[in-house]
Structure 1
Amino acid sequence: MSFDQLASELQVRKAASLYRGRKVLQSPQQPEVVVDGKAYLAFCSNDYLGLANHPAIVSAFKQAADEYGVGGGASSLVSGHSFHHHALEEELAAFTGRPRALLFSNGYMANLGTVNALLGKQDAVFQDRLNHASLLDAGLLSGARFQRYLHNDVDSLTQRLSKTQARRSLVVTDGVFSMDGDIADLPAICDVANHHKAWVMVDDAHGIGCLGKTGAGCAEHFGLSEQQLPILMGTLGKAFGTSGAFVAGSDVLIETLIQHARTYIYTTSMPPAVAAATRVSLKLVQTEQWRREQLTSLIQRFRRGCEQLGLSLMDSPTPIQPIMIGNADKAMAMSAALRDKGLFITAIRPPTVPHGSARLRVTLSASHTEVQVDRLLDALDQVK
């Protein structure tokens, strides 16, 4: 069988400036990186608190690798649930103010496993139109009636919830939307869901670590209890600087996931050293408030600068600061022009974002400096 048809489809994608390519990172995640042999100042990492290369976290990883080896060796329900996995789950539960937490290998698997463990064909799932692909896939695979409400629109959600006759209803939303950077109106979403006896699940991948007094994310930011927000998912590969994900909630929820979440049951556990490193990262997230303060200061500085330059930013108070370009060709050209000036920023194009909304997705880190942000603004002024 020939792959000619696939080759033709790839050419169409290239012609539309929608072709994706990989570049090779040859340095740690940090503001100044080496990519494909060239030095850049990077503004496209999700290492929001600057912890991915923190010496204490690296040291904890090395020590645990010496003690436990590298691989998890088995699924968590066989022999892969180590001391560090168990301790991290308990610490994440306390951190989020939930009774229990359960580790997954990554956020995609956490979302697929959770939604499919809770829902079936008799149920309904209601999702924000701009939810992450993993949430959309999870809802479609569950077999539940799949409905999408207008972005961050509680009235649109209310209309759909009021008409359902499903056995169970699950409202699913990003906490911080990964391509726009705005925050879900969680208090209103939780209120309307509770009124209609629906569960709420939040994917807080981009909020955990960044929002809230101690970095516990959207739930802490809005002061939402486990009863108001019963299903909380967070990832560890962004603000925490390590890898993996977790779901936090009630004892019944976590036991249900252990029994029914196929992406938990049928996969090897994360390396114990990653769990050990994350335990150190969690302490830094909680105690080093200055990282969030630095991040907030840089976000404000960047937004003021873009306003002065006449650049179109989206309404985002988070480290995700997309510059709306519109045309995919233009976004790609601006990204290339910035690389020529030594800045590494990715152009985001359809189908990741809707057609006509291509953008430069600028992400800031607590490890950036004001001088580096000003250098970015100067470069944007030259290429805009």
Structure 2
Amino acid sequence: MTFEFLKHDIKQQKARARYRARQCVAEQSGREVTINGKQYLNFSSNDYLGLNHHREINKALQEGAERFGTCASGSSLITGYSYAHQSLENDICEWLNKPKCLLFASGFSANTAMMQVLGNKTCHIYLDKLSHASLIDGALASDAKIKRFLHNDTAQLSRLLSKSQTNTSAEETNNIIVSEGVFSMDGDQAKVSSLAQIAKQHQAMLYLDDAHSIGVVGEKGQGSSANTEVDVVMATFGKALATSGAFVACDESLADYLINFSRHYVYSTAISPALAWATKKSIELAQKEHWRRIKIQELSLLLMSKLSNKVKLIQSASSIHAIVIGDETSTLNVCQKLREKGIWLTAIRPPTVPINSSRLRVTITSSHNAKDINYLANCINEVIA
């Protein structure tokens, strides 16, 4: 029989305790999730600001559907670019103080598109070692030369850039520095100010994936670029903003180039105009309701103070708190014990994270309360001790 590798590779996944299966969610909020008829405290949601199910966003979605329809019915370069899309782009430009913005179907699509488009044969792409898979895949599919620097090691990045400029001619010095604003699996933040300074020194472009920063970081939720000039910002709507899709904010020349040469943008149906209209309301709420960000910070500090010294917690000032267990089997066992106590956490295993660093990825949202955090900490201390 052909395609024997399908069964073989799945069998290997199971043997290595890396097998993945979907779970059908009946209901969920930032705080709770119902799976297989049982309700759990949910600490795996990316609904950081607790905006999912928000009445004003739901109302905007209904208004958008009635006014523009649920489907764009075409790509942005045919008839798919509606007033709802244009209005959302304008809001994002004003929010992030950027000249232009383009919408994409997903963060994965946006990152892959950007790396492929920017990855001209005259370019060098410098990726943080912990950059998202979409950035790595996009870069590898490009014509650029690729180098990965150690996680948050700005000194190594500087050395690599200096060496590159010494070894290449003047017309081959199109350098792009790529990082996440908040890293999705560790929850730590990039050294954005240092990256911006290095980019300026080496005349490089700075590209930030702000999927886990937008809405959460900054006085008005602008993300990692709130206090630092960043050339290109990509962020998603499906996490803190509680809708779906993504955007790239940049200058006019890059936006024009994307419209003409990005295959992901040119050949994809535009996102739902109803969702675009709803996202405008999400951004409005994210900007003005700063208490949601303050609550995340307070609950995060509470969690850190309550966990035992035996728990290996990666320090983080974001919504994401990684608790490293080690091998895959032990991590799955801890997850199961927590589920028995009514806590839903997902085991993060290789290849998403390095071997022997499997972990619990705890996400805290503004929907949680102090009682939830205390219970979570007590349960983790019990099952890991």
* Common topology (TM > 0.5): yes
Alignment partners' CA distance in 1, 2:366 and 2:39: 20
**Structure 2 vs 1, CA of residues 186 and 30 (structure 1 numbering), >3 Å: closer, same or farther?**
closer
Map of 1:238 onto structure 2: 239
- TM-score (normalizing by structure 1): 0.96
Number of residue pairs matched by the alignment: 378
Map of 1:315 onto structure 2: 315
Q: Deviations over 1:319-377 (max 9, x none)?
A: 00010101111100000111111110001000000001000000010011111111111
Deviates more, 1:55-64 or 1:360-369: 55-64
Deviates more, 1:29-38 or 1:39-48: 29-38
Note the C-alpha offset of 1:6.
2.1
**Which of 167, 178, 183 is the aligned partner of 1:177?**
183
- TM-score (normalizing by structure 2): 0.96
Amino acid at match of 1:74: G
Note the C-alpha offset of 1:194.
1.5
Contact 1:325–1:359 (8 Å) recurs in 2: yes
Note the C-alpha offset of 1:315.
1.7
Amino acid at match of 2:180: D
Q: How does 1:227-376 map to 2 (within 5 A)?
A: 229-306=230-307, 308=308, 310-376=310-376
Alignment partners' CA distance in 1, 2:62 and 2:26: 20
Q: Deviations over 1:131-179 (max 9, x none)?
A: 0001111111112111100110011111111122234111110110000
Alignment partners' CA distance in 1, 2:262 and 2:312: 42
Alignment partners' CA distance in 1, 2:122 and 2:254: 19
Note the C-alpha offset of 1:84.
0.8
Contact 1:309–1:381 (8 Å) recurs in 2: no
Contact 2:68–2:84 (8 Å) recurs in 1: no
Alignment partners' CA distance in 1, 2:114 and 2:22: 30
Map of 1:168 onto structure 2: 174
Map of 1:192 onto structure 2: 198
Alignment partners' CA distance in 2, 1:211 and 1:5: 44
Task: Give the percent of matched residue pairs that are identical in Structure 1 and Structure 2.
Answer: 39
For the aligned residue pairs, the C-alpha RMSD in angstroms reads 1.1
Alignment partners' CA distance in 2, 1:240 and 1:283: 10
Map of 1:52 onto structure 2: 52
Alignment partners' CA distance in 2, 1:224 and 1:305: 33
Contact 1:82–1:272 (8 Å) recurs in 2: yes
Amino acid at match of 1:294: K
Amino acid at match of 2:194: A
Amino acid at match of 2:196: C
Alignment partners' CA distance in 2, 1:156 and 1:14: 38
Alignment partners' CA distance in 1, 2:188 and 2:371: 26
Q: How does 1:68-217 map to 2 (within 5 A)?
A: 68-164=68-164, 165=168, 166-217=172-223
Contact 1:119–1:168 (8 Å) recurs in 2: no
Contact 1:171–1:200 (8 Å) recurs in 2: yes
Q: Match of 2:362, SS?
A: strand
Alignment partners' CA distance in 2, 1:143 and 1:7: 34
Where in structure 2 are there 5+ consecutive unaligned residues? none
Note the C-alpha offset of 1:309.
5.2
Contact 2:30–2:48 (8 Å) recurs in 1: no
Where in structure 1 are there 5+ consecutive unaligned residues? none
